[in-house]
Amino acid sequence: MNAPRHRTWWVRLGQLAGLVAMALLGLFDLRFGDFHGMTPAALLLTLARMGLAAATVLVWLPVHRTGSRRAPVLALLVGAASLTVSLALGALHTAGSYVLSGNWGLAESAGLMAVVFVVARWGAPRIAPWAAVVAGLAVAALPLRAGTDSVYVIFALLQALAAVGAAAGGIYLRVVATGRDRAIALVRAEQRAEFARDLHDFIAHHVTGIVVQAQGARFVAEQDPQRVITALEQIERAGAETMASMRRMVGILRDPDAAPDAPLAPLAGVADLAPLLEGFNGTANAPARLHVDGALDGLPVEVSTSAYRLVMEGLTNARQHAPDARSVDVFVRRTPDWLLVRVADDGAAARTSPPRRHGYGLVGLTERVRALGGTITAGPGVTGGWVLDAALPLQRTVVR
């Protein structure tokens, strides 16, 4: 996963500061180092040491992705080369060909610590620990190039502790980033599941309308052909909307990262109830009437969309399971703490249990309403018909 653009800029700014610090430390090494008055072999090793300081930049300068294999491989090579130079300088000193000067290379120390951090933060899990250990040992061995007195041993221990701190910082940021990525993946999975439930309601609503219009067109085909044309146009429009929603859902479920800025679920809310009822009245024998009590602006998004889904489910069930109903009433009432939604039809046929074919819709709505901390009931009305009642809290409290 690519880093967001604003985070990339912060990384680049830190890398620029690192380059400046490395350049200043390199100048310090040249000014106070042992560049002059050495044998050709020692001079070559000193140049190699300066080259290693520059080589560390190739490891920590690029912006790596989590699980990178390139970073730990390069870190292994640079760390092993640094250790080799340290051992070679020690061997030359023992042989009398090189005199320890008291400078071990601060630029290389800083570069190797940055390498340890980068490997711990972004390296592939199988290689990163070994690369971090090798680079850390190289950092700890650097002060011993200047001598084996107690002060250099202390500096070696301090640099080892600094390398451990760099590794700990990289691991911490890695764990935080991994947790954030998992949380984002979980939220996206929940949103895709919610989208699938919403799409079920949407498709069921339109498909039942298509069936009703097709049945009506068959009966009026001989008496009023013009009404058949109107019904076919409405069927075509509903079918196109259904197919578009299905394609959108399949695209999101197949590749949720293809359009990360696009909403994962339809955002129809209470403001869209009037068009919903108009579409229902164009395909049903029983007219639906909307009754609103209270202002519906400023509702939480999850409450508004849930209310829309509740009304859609109620209208769909009324159209399919109450063909003898003469009217359907939709009540939406806002109180200071609740949004109350009721969909009631006056069908004469007894319905003592939720419709089996639309059980998934009611199950999904129940889960959605309870997740918001609300309540929902569905059953026969006192005077007949079927009533769907729900109460949605307006406070943003989510029940898990």
Q: Calculate mean pLDDT across residues 196-212.
A: 66
Q: Among the listed ranges 144-148, 164-168, 196-200, 376-380, which one has the minimum average pLDDT value?
A: 196-200
What is the model's pLDDT at position 166? 93
Neighbouring-strand partners of residue 380: 386
On the question of pLDDT at 260 being above 50, the answer is: no
What is the model's pLDDT at position 397? 47
**pLDDT tens-digit series, residues 94-148:** 766 555 566 677 888 888 999 999 999 999 999 999 999 999 999 998 888 777 7
pTM: 0.53
Q: By percentage, how much of the chain surpasses pLDDT 90?
A: 21
Q: Calculate mean pLDDT across residues 88-99.
A: 68
**pLDDT tens-digit series, residues 24-38:** 877 777 666 655 555
Percent of residues in the chain assigned helix, strand, coil, to nearest 5 = 65, 10, 25
Q: CA gyration radius for the chain?
A: 35
3-state SS, one letter per residue, for 3-64: CCHHHHHHHHHHHHHHHHHHHHHHHHHHHHCCCCCCCHHHHHHHHHHHHHHHHHHHHHCCCC
What is the model's pLDDT at position 390? 93
Q: By percentage, how much of the chain surpasses pLDDT 70?
A: 68
Alpha carbon distances (Å) from 70 to 67, 77, 83, 397 = 9, 11, 20, 46
- Going by pLDDT thresholds of 50, 70 and 90, the confidence category of residue 206 is low
On the question of pLDDT at 51 being above 50, the answer is: yes
What is the model's pLDDT at position 265? 44
Parallel/antiparallel/unpaired status of strands 328-334 and 288-293: parallel
For 300, the 3-state DSSP assignment is coil
Structure tokens at 175: 């764990």
Mean pLDDT of the chain: 77
Question: What domains, with CATH codes, occur in the chain?
Answer: 4-182 (no CATH), 270-350+358-393 (3.30.565.10)
Q: Calculate mean pLDDT across residues 331-352.
A: 83
Q: How far is residue 283's CA from residue 24's CA, in Å, rounded to a whole number?
A: 78
On the question of pLDDT at 184 being above 90, the answer is: no
Q: How far is residue 139's CA from residue 258's CA, in Å, rounded to a whole number?
A: 43
- Residue with more model confidence, 385 or 132: 132
Q: Among the listed ranges 40-54, 97-111, 236-250, 324-338, which one has the minimum average pLDDT value?
A: 236-250
| Buried/exposed 96-125: b ≥16 CB within 10 Å, e otherwise | eebebbebbbbbbbbbbbbbbbbbbbbbbe
Residue 93 CA neighbour count, 13 Å, CB half: 15
